[in-house]
Structure formats: structure tokens, C-alpha cells
Amino acid sequence: GRTLEVTHSTVMEDEFPEARTYNSEDPLGLAPTCEVPKTTLIVRNMPWMYSQAGLIDECELAGSFDFLHVPFSRYLGHNAGFAIINFLSAELAARFLGRWNKCRLKHQRVGRAISITPAQRQGRIANLQMIHEEAPVLPVVILGGHQADRETVVSMVMKAKLGCLLWSV
């Protein structure tokens, strides 16, 4: 299969299909269109030592998103080198992209700067559908301003896959 280049390693694209490159003539989603505004971004070239909590803290993301996932690769033994974040609005997503795209995180002394683009799958539900219920690291999901516990996230993943998830924030 094709491979994805990540910090310090290579991951099979089949292991994390959500990491595929966004296919568009306007990769940052900045051209005026009739499309739904982009709220879900993918952050590539993340250092392997970053956790979900570390990314939230360093980028001051609290209160701006309802879904954040830094997938763990069993193949690599650490994060897969990318994160998926669904922001509460297109404006918050654009602000994050403007602040962090092509920048280095605090613990990123070597390698490429992070690269941020709109994700192929937009929205919390679409991204919950891609999660495996037994994944070692489940996404951070915010409901009513509070982080959902593991049991709730697993339930949301299963319902999203069945197409019957109607959660309100």
C-alpha cells in the first residue's frame, strides 16, 4: 500500500485512512465556494511524543473544539504523527490554521514544521465513524462543555457507525 510520511517514521495509509491528503484545488479551503465551511482540520508532522492533552494545552484549544484525536499507532508504538480537530466554528478553525500552520510546536526541535489542512471528513460525527471502539487512545469529545468519559465516547462511536447519532453540544 501507499505510505504516509510522518515524523521519524512511516505509517501505512490503510491503518489511518483519515490521514489521506485533502483532495482539492484549494487545499486550505480559502477560495470562495458554495461548500459548507470547513471546521475539521488535520495537523500533520506532529512530534511522536505529543499526547492529546499536550496538544490541547500547548495550542490553547480548550473551549474551541468538540472532537480532537491524536491516533496511536500500535505499529509505531507512539502517536501516528497527526491529529484531527473539529472546531466549533469555521472561524475558530481558520484562527487555529492561521496561528499554527507551518510553525513548530514547543517540543519540535527537529523535523518539519506542522502542516494544517482541512480534513477529508468534516464534522464530529463523520470522524467518530472512523474510530475503532477498542482503540488504545479514543478521541477527546466535548459534550455540554465537558469532556465525555470513555464509555460515552465508545457509545457515540458505535451510534455514529449505525448512523443514529444526534448529539447536541
Report whether 118 contacts 28 (CB < 8 A).
Answer: yes
Residue whose entry in the numeric block shows the C-alpha cell 492561521: 98
Instruction: Quickly count: other Cβ atoms within 10 Å of residue 78's Cβ.
Output: 18
In this predicted structure, what is the pLDDT of residue 26?
55
Q: What residue spans define the domains of the chain?
A: 3-162
Q: What is the pLDDT of residues 97-139, one digit of tens each?
A: 999 999 988 877 777 899 999 999 999 999 999 998 888 899 9
In this predicted structure, what is the pLDDT of residue 96?
96
CA distance 84 to 62: 15
The answer to whether the predicted template modeling score (pTM) of the entire model surpasses 0.85 is no
State mean pLDDT over 11-30.
49
State mean pLDDT over 64-92.
94
Report whether 7 contacts 97 (CB < 8 A).
Answer: no
From the list 12, 87, 73, the residue with the least C-alpha distance to 43 is 87
CATH classification number, 3-162, choose in 2.60.320.10, 3.30.1360.120, 3.30.70.330, 3.30.360.10: 3.30.70.330
User: 92 vs 133, which has greater pLDDT?
Assistant: 92
